[in-house]
Amino acid sequence: MTVDTAGAAPLRFRRIGIVGVGLIGGSFALALKTVKAVDTVVGFGRSRANLDVARRMGVIDEIANGWDDIDGCDLILLAVPVGQLPEVMPVIAPRIARDALVTDAGSTKRDVVAYARAAFGKALPRFVPAHPIAGAEKSGAAAARPNLFAGRPVVLTPIEETDAFAFKRVRATWQLTGAKTMRMDVAMHDMALAATSHLPHVLAFAMMNEIAQRPEAEAMLALTGGGFRDFTRIAASNPEMWRDICLSNRDTLCAEIDAFSARLARFRQWIATGDGPALEREFEAARVAREALTIALDASARPRD
């Protein structure tokens, strides 16, 4: 992994196409509008109602009349759930302008790269895979905000075919949103995110359903404290998006579920046998690791001279 430290280069786009004007796509558009890096933003999507909201809020300037409008864009962001990309990429591929840049916001990368290699042809060198680590449990254009990416990491995973100039321009564009960009291998990205993002979401969904679907759910949920609310907050995330993420990264995610299940089994054994010292050692190790993470996150968020 390489963390980029260079500042954002001056960029301006005449026309940007946002395919999927939700939290991520809409926030990308608003961030670039805020720094006056784009003249016109065109929105593409399945829901006319959501696109109408986006235009009314000023997230986009125009609603696309159809896929042919891709041809007029000099930058395209693919911000739909990854499960839609096998259908979307072949449709837009012949319509991508000769000098247009393409990036995405998918939470998995091996599958996205495979789809792009199958669909993009001559446009493949100008596709720069990306993943902004800046989601929230809210979705849709109404959730978009211009500072969503400020200080947040965006992982770029260029492939062998990626053109160096295209990579630099896409990196600079993400930096214009306020994000901190870093470069990472595709496989490493998917392994890391399976452990730190995809698994926690699966656990939150499972925990929420485990309680909510019990006969005593009403009484139990009336007694939830901050721990339960914090842990299950992400269970309010978009189900379609997380279905696609889990299935597209299934092998790596299943390995992480197995590893976590093994650790949880050890906790069960210690609790069942009354092994207090083992529990305390594990709790202490976790506490120290969490405090170190807090310090590291606070340091990374601190302004630098």
* Termini Cα distance of the chain: 24
Inform me whether the pLDDT recorded for 6 exceeds 90. no
Task: Give the 3-state secondary structure of 226-287.
Answer: HHHHHHHHHHHCCHHHHHHHHHHCHHHHHHHHHHHHHHHHHHHHHHHHCCHHHHHHHHHHHH
Q: What is the mean pLDDT of residues 190-211?
A: 96
Cβ(75)–Cβ(16) under 8 Å? Answer: yes
Residues 15 and 138 in one domain: yes
Inform me whether the pLDDT recorded for 302 exceeds 60. no
46-73 pLDDT per residue, tens: 889 999 999 999 999 999 999 999 999 9
Torsion sign (Cα): 181, 59, 163, 66: positive
CATH number for position 33: 3.40.50.720
Evaluate whether residue 282 is within a structural domain.
no
CA atoms of 131 and 156, how far apart (whole Å): 7
Domain of 248 in residue numbering reads as 189-274
Evaluate whether residue 244 is within a structural domain.
yes
DSSP letters, 140-151, are SGGG--TTTTTT
Cβ(139)–Cβ(19) under 8 Å? Answer: no
Residues 168 and 20 in one domain: yes
Residues 160 and 228 in one domain: no
Residues 25 and 150 in one domain: yes
Give the CB-side neighbour count of residue 158, counting CA atoms within 13 A.
20
pTM assigned to the model: 0.84
Residues 198 and 64 in one domain: no
Q: pLDDT at position 46, please? A: 87
88-102 pLDDT per residue, tens: 999 999 999 999 999
Q: What is the mean pLDDT of residues 277-284?
A: 97
Domain count, the chain: 2
Residue that is last in its domain, among 129, 149, 184: 184
94-123 pLDDT per residue, tens: 999 999 999 999 999 999 999 999 999 999
Provide the strand spans (E) within 29-112: 38-44, 62-63, 75-78, 101-104
Residues 144 and 217 in one domain: no
Q: pLDDT at position 219, please? A: 94
CA atoms of 39 and 12, how far apart (whole Å): 8
Band of residue 137 on the pLDDT scale cut at 50, 70, 90: low
Residue that is last in its domain, among 184, 200, 234: 184
Residues 57 and 199 in one domain: no
